Structure 1
Amino acid sequence: MTISALAIPVVIVAGVVAMASIFIVDEREKALVLRLGRVVDVQEEPGLGVKVPFLDNVVKYDDRILGLPTSPLEVTPLDDRRLVVDAFARWRITDPVRFRQAVGTGGIQAAQGRLEPIVNAAIREVLGSVPSTTVLSDDRTALMNQIRDEARNNSAGLGVEIIDVRLTRTDLPEQNLNATYARMRAERQREAADEIARGGEAAQRVRAAADRTVVELTSEAQKRAEIVRGEADARRNAIYADAFGRDPEFFAFTRSMTSYERALKGSNSSLVMQPDGQFFSYLSDDGSSRATPAPAPVPPRSVIEGEAETSEATGDDDLVTPTVTDREGNPLGESAGVKLTPVPESLATPPQEPSAVVTPGEGTPAPDGEEEQ
């Protein structure tokens, strides 16, 4: 009984000693075995560890990736425009011994207090070397990688590794927003005005070229129209001259009748002049005594063609081309390209007598072509 009574306390003591000399390391942790404050062992693999009971102390650190949110930081880029920057860093413990030596008993909280100034300093240094447009752009991966590398180099003595740094917010200070937005609006308005001016200039060039083309085409068309109209008028005048030149008296009579029609048009037309004036000469004398006798009537073309064939058959060649000249002796219709058709000699127009038409102001013409006494 005495041995059994003594064995139970021994077993209990042995169990307590065994429990005190064994510790468990989780897969998410790293452990340091400290003896009187000095590191005597490092347990980085998960599983059971052994220590000296009641003498060694085990300190465990989180082996996972940890986050470090930084407070809003005001930085000044290269163009002296202040920006408010929020960043977020991710880090992990890589060397538990050095980490213990650097932060002491403070652990994770002390390490974050040491890392935040390092990250802020890296942010100020990198963002201060570039203009604000680069910081405010959508693609800031290169900047964040530079901040990460700078912070990683500066935190190497803490036994930690900066895995990543992200800029979560980059804004202007509240007091500078209105001025900045106004400046941005003015810049955009200036660019819009430049674009509108360039568009207006291009439109003016196109419009001027189109107007010039219209003027050239219109001028060319008017030129051709005037040429055609002039040629037509020349032919018309030649035909009129050829027709009226055969009987100038009839031409004068026709013109007088046209003048009467135009002057006496209307229900209450009034003319104040001498009754025996030149204007009313054809109302007292129809001018038949001064007319050129009309030639003999020309038979139908079929008859003329028959006579021509007969003359050709008999060998007669009595067709002649009428010769009609103006007052200057030039053949009528020649300038307009009008050629008179040859007719038998018996049908030719007799020689014209001198015109008895008297121009206004010369007095009343004498009948039968006699000269005025």
Structure 2
Amino acid sequence: MKAVSSVFAGLLLVLAIVGSSAVYVVDQREQALLFQLGEVVEVKTSPGLYFKVPFVQNIRFFDSRILTMDSEEPERFITSEKKNVLVDLFVKWRIVDVKQYYISVQGDETLARVRLAQTINSSIRDEFGNRTVHDVVSGERDNIMEIMRQKANADARKIGVEVVDVRLKRVDLPQEVSESVYRRMEAERKRVANELRSTGAAEAEKIRADADRQNEVILAEAYRDAQKTMGQGDAQATAIYAEAFQKDAKFYEFYRSLDAYKKSFKNKEDILVVEPSSEFFKYMKSASDPKK
């Protein structure tokens, strides 16, 4: 009885092993190739539970997600100006034809990366060789990346791979070239700054000259108006004096003489040298003459 039980348990174990080897699961992130005696007999691209013949058929899984190939070190390329630039990039790719992928690179991701790197490098050399530093740095960067993606994708399709995207992370000049470029940029900025300073100085002189001209004009106009006002005042005063003179000539003459005396002998230190018979003392004589 124990022997029968052992045999039955052994049979169950063998059936379990055989059953488990006959079932396999394809994950939604994977694709699978079913091999029979070393040849591909079926491709599984949809997730699910599948069966195979134990010990005769075997299965191999491949990642169907988007993979990234990133350059470890920037590589040197030459532009149309014969200038070196350092390029750092990454590539997004995925397997779209798993059978062709297996046939072309034996399903080895390392070999696929080498093939993609060669294609990308060739495309970069072609594109950079036809463009200037300005174009590859900023001017046509997006266009260059799209052209490289298309060229790389056309070649990658031959090994069952699709190139989703190619991105230039950084495009720099080598250190020895950067220094000379920076020196030229600095000299150019200094030249522009000097031009702006010269232009500003010229504008300042122009503004000052215009301000000085306006100042002279304002002063001249003010002096003219002042002289005009003074002339009008003098004319009015003369008219008043003339009118007063006409009313009483002798009194006016006497008043003017008193005013002249007052101004002449304003200070005690004032000295006036005239002849005693001068008309200047006319009214003084009249005041001292008892007959008058």
TM-score, scaled relative to structure 2: 0.73
Which residue does 1:69 correspond to in 2? 70
- Offset at 1:194? 5.0
Return the match for 2:92 from 85, 90, 93. 90
CA distance 1:209–1:270, change in 2 (3 Å): closer
* 1:1-373 pair list within 5 angstroms: 22-35=23-36, 37-49=38-50, 51=52, 54=55, 56-70=57-71, 71-77=73-79, 82-104=84-106, 107-133=108-134, 135-137=136-138, 141-194=142-195, 222-286=223-287
Question: 1:161 is paired with a residue of what secondary structure?
Answer: strand
- Offset at 1:263? 3.0
CA RMSD of aligned residues (A): 4.3
Q: Distance in 1 between matches of 2:230 and 2:222?
A: 12
Q: Is the contact between residue 43 and residue 49 of structure 1 (CA under 8 Å) also seen in structure 2?
A: no
Q: Distance in 2 between matches of 1:5 and 1:268?
A: 160
CA distance 1:102–1:232, change in 2 (3 Å): same
Q: Distance in 1 between matches of 2:228 and 2:222?
A: 10
CA distance 1:269–1:10, change in 2 (3 Å): closer
Which residue does 1:354 correspond to in 2? none
Q: Distance in 2 between matches of 1:12 and 1:264?
A: 153
- CA-to-aligned-CA distance 1:200-259 (integer Å, 9 cap, x gap): 666666666666666666655654554444334223212212322455554444444333
- Offset at 1:95? 0.9
CA distance 1:146–1:204, change in 2 (3 Å): farther
Q: Distance in 2 between matches of 1:108 and 1:54?
A: 27
Q: Distance in 1 between matches of 2:225 and 2:134?
A: 65
Q: AA paired with 1:99? A: Y
Q: AA paired with 1:172? A: L
- Offset at 1:68? 0.4
Question: 1:267 is paired with a residue of what secondary structure?
Answer: coil
- Offset at 1:170? 3.0
Quote the sequence identity (%).
34
Q: Distance in 2 between matches of 1:74 and 1:220?
A: 75
- Offset at 1:13? 6.7
- Offset at 1:109? 1.2
CA distance 1:40–1:239, change in 2 (3 Å): same
Q: AA paired with 1:158? A: I
Higher relative contact order (CA 8 A, sep 6+): 2
Gaps of 5+ in 1: 292-373
Q: Distance in 1 between matches of 2:94 and 2:9?
A: 47
Q: AA paired with 1:112? A: R
CA distance 1:80–1:265, change in 2 (3 Å): farther
Which residue does 1:296 correspond to in 2? none
Q: Distance in 1 between matches of 2:233 and 2:217?
A: 24
The structure richer in helix per residue is 2
- Offset at 1:64? 1.5
Q: Is the contact between residue 72 and residue 86 of structure 1 (CA under 8 Å) also seen in structure 2?
A: yes
- Offset at 1:136? 4.2
TM-score, scaled relative to structure 1: 0.60
Question: 2:106 is paired with a residue of what secondary structure?
Answer: helix
Q: AA paired with 2:62? A: Y
CA distance 1:287–1:144, change in 2 (3 Å): farther
Q: Distance in 2 between matches of 1:259 and 1:232?
A: 21
**Structure with larger Rg:** 1
